[in-house]
Amino acid sequence: MGRDEMIISKTDLQGRLTYANRTFMRVANFSEIQLLGQNHNIIRHPSMPRGVFYGLWKTLKSGQEFFGFVKNTTADGNYYWVFANITPDVINGKTVGYYSVRRTPPKESIEVIKKIYQQMSEKERHADRKQAPELSWNWMVNTVEREQGMSYEQYVLDLYKRYR
């Protein structure tokens, strides 16, 4: 994916894809027929900590937009990283779905976030399966606040912009 290209998708409230732009289809190596109606997690890479998605859904369900780095898988088993901005799609005051714009993240940002995600995954491996996502998300948010002196959202935005 080129630096100035964007992957755009829309989902319903359950996370089923209702729209995928051509860049999404090309990068993920899926056809429109293969994507539409499928849960967005069809592209979730298995190495991603579940805590990231816990935080994503917690943020979206509170009506806020989510920013984060996500490793996705392609139809042929490869992977790609994105910097995602996901927002609730609100019509007449009611959330009807979600809108996502994803960009190519700087390589330096990915190297930093990979270390954090490895620690999150390690926490998840040693925790109760049901509680692991919340535990790893809270660990990451608290660690960022303590060590960086800023919120998770500020941190990932700074990490993206710093190397852009």
> So what's the pLDDT on residue 108?
97
Cα–Cα distance, 43 to 80 (Å, whole number): 10
pLDDT band at 3 (very low <50, low <70, confident <90, very high): confident
**Residue 138: CA atoms inside 13 Å, Cβ hemisphere, count?**
6
User: For 41-69, what is each residue's pLDDT tens digit?
Assistant: 999 999 999 999 999 999 999 999 999 99
Mean pLDDT throughout 138-163? 96
Mean pLDDT throughout 129-156? 97
Phi-psi domain of 23 (left: phi exceeds 0; alpha: psi -120 through 50; beta: other)? alpha
Q: With beta carbons less than 8 A apart as the criterion, state whether 7 and 82 touch.
A: yes
Q: With beta carbons less than 8 A apart as the criterion, state whether 37 and 19 touch.
A: no
pLDDT tops 90 at residue 37: yes
The amino acid occupying position 110 is I
Domains recognised in the chain with CATH numbers: 6-162 (3.30.450.20)
| DSSP assignment letter at 41 | G
pLDDT tops 90 at residue 163: no
Whole-prediction pTM? 0.94
> So what's the pLDDT on residue 101?
98
> So what's the pLDDT on residue 40?
95
> So what's the pLDDT on residue 164?
85
pLDDT tops 90 at residue 38: yes
Q: With beta carbons less than 8 A apart as the criterion, state whether 68 and 54 touch.
A: no
